[in-house]
């Protein structure tokens, strides 16, 4: 089984979610609303980063598939000549 390789710049979304959760928990423990809100905001930012990474991966897959079809089409056209 292969473990997927994670690009460090892509891990920032996950890091934001973890740090944000830590802030939120600390805010709850010490009854600090500003810390709770900061944690929630950081978690939301992390979620958006992860969504963007997923969408980019889908776009890259579509691009690769289109390139493959283009190569197949060119090969078929050369075979006709």
- 4 occurs within a structural domain: no
- 3 occurs within a structural domain: no
**Model pLDDT for residues 48-60, shown as the tens digit of each residue:** 999 998 899 899 9
- 6 occurs within a structural domain: no
Structural domain count, the chain = 1
Residue bearing the bigger pLDDT, 81 or 67:
67
Structural domain harbouring 61: 12-80
13, 49 Cβ separation under 8 angstroms: yes
Greatest CA separation for the chain: 77
- 54 occurs within a structural domain: yes
pLDDT band at 81 (very low <50, low <70, confident <90, very high): low
Residue 63 has pLDDT above 70, yes or no: yes
**Model pLDDT for residues 1-59, shown as the tens digit of each residue:** 666 676 777 788 999 999 999 999 999 999 999 999 999 999 999 999 999 988 998 99
What one-character-per-residue DSSP string does 32-67 give?
Answer: -HHHHHHHHHHHHHHHHHHHHHHHHHHHHHHHHHHH
pTM of the model: 0.71
Residue 80's pLDDT is what? 77
Q: How far apart are the first and last CA of the chain?
A: 44
């Amino acid at each position: 089984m292969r473990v997927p390789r994670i690009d460090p710049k892509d891990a920032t979304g996950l890091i934001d979610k973890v740090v944000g959760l830590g802030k939120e928990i600390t805010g709850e423990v010490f009854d600090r609303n500003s810390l709770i809100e900061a944690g929630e905001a950081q978690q939301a930012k992390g979620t958006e980063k992860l969504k963007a990474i997923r969408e980019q991966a889908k776009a890259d897959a579509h691009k690769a598939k289109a390139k493959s079809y283009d190569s197949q089409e060119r090969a078929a056209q050369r075979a006709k000549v």
